[in-house]
Amino acid sequence: MMSELTINIIRKSRFQEIYSKLFTEEINEESEFQSILTIGLLFLNSDNYLISQLGYRILIRYSILSKNTIPLYEVSSALNFTPINKLLENKISDFETADSFYKTFLSSSFEFFRDKDTYLTAEQLNLKNFYIEKINQSLAIVAPTSYGKSELIISTISLSPKKNICILVPTKALLAQIKSRIISSKDFKQSHKVITHPDSYKKIDLKYVAIFTQERLIQFLETYKEFRFDIIVIDEAHNLLERNDRSETLSLALALLEKRNKSSIFKFLTPFLVDSNNLQIYNTNYSLIEYKINEKVKIEKYYLIDFNKNGNLKIYDQFLDCFFALDKSFDDYFQFLKSKSSKKNIIYFNVPSDIENFAEALVDTIPKVSNEEIEKACKDLARFIHKEYNLIKALETGIVYHHGSVPDSIRLYVENLYSKITDIKYIVTSSTLLEGVNIPGESLFLFDYQKGRRKLTASQMKNLVGRVCRFREIFHAKNGDIKMLEPSIYLIGSKYTRKGANLEKFYKDTVKVDKKITDDLENILLNNARLSSKDAIEKEKLNEFFYNLDPDGERIEGVNYSNTLIGRYCFENNIHEIEILQNEENIKEQAERFTNLGYKVGNPKELLEAISLIFIPFIKENDKNLNILRLKQNGALKFYSLFLNWKIQAMPYKLMIRNFLNYWRRIEKNSEEILVYVGKWGDTRKDNANVEHWVRISEKTYRERVNLAIVKIKEEQDFVDNKLFKFIEVLYKMQIIEEDFYLKIKYGTSDKVKIILIKNGISLALASLLSSVEYFSFVDIDFITESLKISPQIVGIMENRNVNEILIFEVKMNLG
């Protein structure tokens, strides 16, 4: 009969009556406990995977409610879930009375699953062995968060001492994290030079580990055309499936890597993927061996409460596909959040402004915590940024927030504070969490179910949920707890949720166990993507772009190639904002107005005028390019001239904030423009605009202006680095920009020592400190390779001199 049992049959049976008691916690009789345990063990022995998983879910619930963990221990032994066994041995008193021979026998067998100081599940161990065995073959590794993908990256380096390796990460924020993990690993033998920026490369006899974003990789490949990577690791590889500029750039970069080196080995790492064949890119021939983790150690509990309706709490069971009402209601979502909070809580929002608004509102409901580390961090943030920074007020109550407009050095610092200080209970964050950020969390609260303009897909939801209760938290020798085998996920309807949102349907569409999930192939450069006629035209344009990235290679019949030097430089710098082939002659003509005179640009005003004259008239008029098209306006030219001057002067954040406030004060005083452009942080529309990208600065308080300035600075830095600098690079290659001015625009300095430090991933603020007389003796620079080593002794010296903890933390991340 068990072989004929299906999940649908169970759903239609009376099983739900006793099963629901596991969640309403109405089981009191020993006989009921025994009945549910018996059913769970029967289900566990089913050949049907879903029923077996349901049995495992029952066993976990039984163990937590009954406080009898012997059955879980024995089942974990049979499933080779060794970390659970070791946790139970360390934490549960039941094993003090267990049969000593049996216990000793099992414990000794667990040593087969030991890796250094960590115990692995069977699948973790199999994955590690498989990866090592296939180190010289292209792979697609599909493994949930916590299964050791970071360790696989380090294994790639340690097992390939004579190969050049590229590690591709989705965001700049991850560059420093990955580098720190590599250089601090005991397995890193320093057989490679580790770089995070193309400018760090030197043509010397060294093997490299290049940790790049796709944009930096394209820049590197176009600058050093003779260089060949042997192994390429693509972290968070599912991003390749999406349709946006970054996924297309990643596709072009991977195709170019294989074109340059036909024997390239690709390692795609992702927490979710249905079919690895969907990773095949147009113009590539790599063949992937797939390894997919099938075991499931955690079984999530999904709660739903909608304050836009009745505020009643219920739980969704992903196995029975039904909701169980819980006899609880709450007045508001703050009360609910605090009553359901764990030691560490992740709160998800889609929109960065919602993150800050919610954090500010939550602060008002929570008293300040008394913690010396937090007090010190608040003082350091005030010194580094501004005393009115909202993050400081939040931190005082044990809350931090995290989104793309938080300065990079602050974001890393905040992640570290949240991870190490127990009194910081909440982190309010956006989809940056989906991009491989590793932070502890026992409960996840979703106040929105969207990412961008669309709902989270089943795969994205799976990835987000997987960030909660990571193995290192569940199986921590001191703080581990089997309750974390059932992470609590709370979906909350509130003013932050889209009107008319069907939260119940969202759960059914994303976490129901037998919901058929497919890979959403939106990237038109994927071989298996289904294309419309419009998509096919766009694909041809991208294909043409690809061949122009490598015009010195074999010429392909039917492909149009650039005929001008400036056109080639535009392709090399990944400028998609212009139809290059159609406009290169006109661009060349405009550029010659500078080159024919032999005059070189030497200040921001002239630079922006050159960009405005040479490139802006040819920018495609579409929503993607609205930001760069603002340079058609005199007001925008004046502002960016001012902003670039701040960069040249290496102005610290605190002073830039003050200057922003003064700038807005002048605007307000002179009534030149009541509305100020702040991009996605706006709340007001201008003229006939469709989006709220402006604010009435006169209506903002001093504190609001300070915090607008902070996010605005980060937004503008990103705009300069990611959008504007592509055009600056072209002008520099065309010898239109002075060398010293170019260096100051790029690095904020023309000092050789500081530039070497910055090339090695050091911030300008820290580079200025390390190059000073007081600290330079602790920095060992090889001026030939431009490598550096920072002495660990510097940390104590900096602490004794009361250097800002944000800079000390950055130093620690760069100690080899």
The predicted-structure confidence for 493-502, as pLDDT tens digits, reads as follows 999 998 888 9
* C-alpha separations of 314 from 23, 326, 748 in Å: 10, 5, 54
Where among 88, 111, 134 does a domain terminate?
111
**What's the number of domains the chain is made of?**
4
Q: Is residue 395 part of a domain?
A: no
Identify whether residues 99 and 134 lie together within a single domain.
no
Rounded Cα distance, 700 and 712, in Å: 15
Both tokens of residue 741? 């001015």
* C-alpha separations of 641 from 605, 606, 611, 693 in Å: 5, 9, 12, 21
Contact 24, 324 (CB under 8 A): yes
Q: Is residue 761 part of a domain?
A: yes
Q: Is residue 530 part of a domain?
A: no
Contact 118, 93 (CB under 8 A): no
Helix 70-79, helix 49-66: angle, nearest 10 = 150
Instruction: Write out the H or E segment, with its range, that includes residue 672.
Output: none
Average pLDDT, stretch 259-279?
94
Q: What percent of the chain stands above pLDDT 90?
A: 70
Contact 471, 83 (CB under 8 A): yes
Where among 292, 326, 351 does a domain terminate?
292
State the residue range of the domain holding 728: 562-745
Question: Is the per-residue pLDDT at 444 higher than 90?
Answer: yes
Identify whether residues 706 and 779 lie together within a single domain.
no
More reliable by pLDDT, 168 or 190:
168
Average pLDDT, stretch 192-201?
91
Identify whether residues 153 and 281 lie together within a single domain.
yes
* C-alpha separations of 468 from 76, 88, 248, 359, 464 in Å: 21, 20, 30, 20, 8
* C-alpha separations of 736 from 471, 600, 602, 603, 728 in Å: 54, 5, 9, 12, 9
Rounded Cα distance, 244 and 250, in Å: 10
pLDDT-derived band of residue 228, with 50, 70 and 90 as boundaries? very high
> Rounded to 5, what percent of the chain is helix, strand, coil?
50, 15, 35
pLDDT single digits (tens) 34-76: 999 999 999 999 999 999 999 999 999 999 999 999 999 999 9
Identify whether residues 147 and 271 lie together within a single domain.
yes
Residue 384's contacts (CB-CB under 8 Å, 6 or more residues apart) are: 410, 653, 654, 804, 806
pLDDT at 256: 94
| Type of residue numbered 757 | L
Identify whether residues 86 and 166 lie together within a single domain.
no
CATH number at residue 158: 3.40.50.300
Q: Tell if the pTM clears 0.95, that is, is over it.
A: no
CA angle, 778 then 779 then 780, to 5°: 120
Identify whether residues 92 and 22 lie together within a single domain.
yes
* C-alpha separations of 634 from 306, 638, 639 in Å: 48, 6, 9
Beta carbons within 10 angstroms of residue 694's beta carbon: 21
Contact 626, 723 (CB under 8 A): no
Helix 30-44, helix 70-79: angle, nearest 10 = 0
The count of residues in the chain is 816
Both tokens of residue 758? 């910055």
pLDDT single digits (tens) 286-324: 999 999 998 899 999 999 999 998 888 999 999 999 999
Q: Is residue 499 part of a domain?
A: no
pLDDT at 803: 96
Both tokens of residue 626? 């609205």
Secondary structure class of 447 (helix, strand, coil)? coil
Q: Is residue 511 part of a domain?
A: no
E strands, 604-682, where? Answer: 675-677
Both tokens of residue 615? 């490139």
Residue 259's contacts (CB-CB under 8 Å, 6 or more residues apart) are: 283, 550, 553
Identify whether residues 575 and 718 lie together within a single domain.
yes
Identify whether residues 88 and 15 lie together within a single domain.
yes
Rounded Cα distance, 103 and 107, in Å: 6
Secondary structure class of 388 (helix, strand, coil)? coil
Contact 209, 189 (CB under 8 A): no
Q: Is residue 169 part of a domain?
A: yes
**Mean per-residue pLDDT over the chain, rounded:** 91
pLDDT single digits (tens) 654-694: 999 999 999 888 888 876 567 888 888 988 988 777 788 88
Q: Is residue 341 part of a domain?
A: no
Question: Is the per-residue pLDDT at 97 higher than 70?
Answer: no
Q: What percent of the chain stands above pLDDT 70?
A: 97
Average pLDDT, stretch 23-41?
87
Identify whether residues 256 and 142 lie together within a single domain.
yes
Identify whether residues 764 and 738 lie together within a single domain.
no
Question: Is the per-residue pLDDT at 742 higher than 60?
Answer: yes
Beta carbons within 10 angstroms of residue 361's beta carbon: 11
Identify whether residues 215 and 274 lie together within a single domain.
yes
* C-alpha separations of 170 from 174, 286, 301, 472, 552 in Å: 8, 21, 29, 23, 29
Rounded Cα distance, 301 and 57, in Å: 10
Where among 55, 82, 111 does a domain terminate?
111
Identify whether residues 587 and 693 lie together within a single domain.
yes
pLDDT at 102: 56
Question: Is the per-residue pLDDT at 519 higher than 60?
Answer: yes
Q: Is residue 529 part of a domain?
A: no
Rounded Cα distance, 642 and 659, in Å: 10
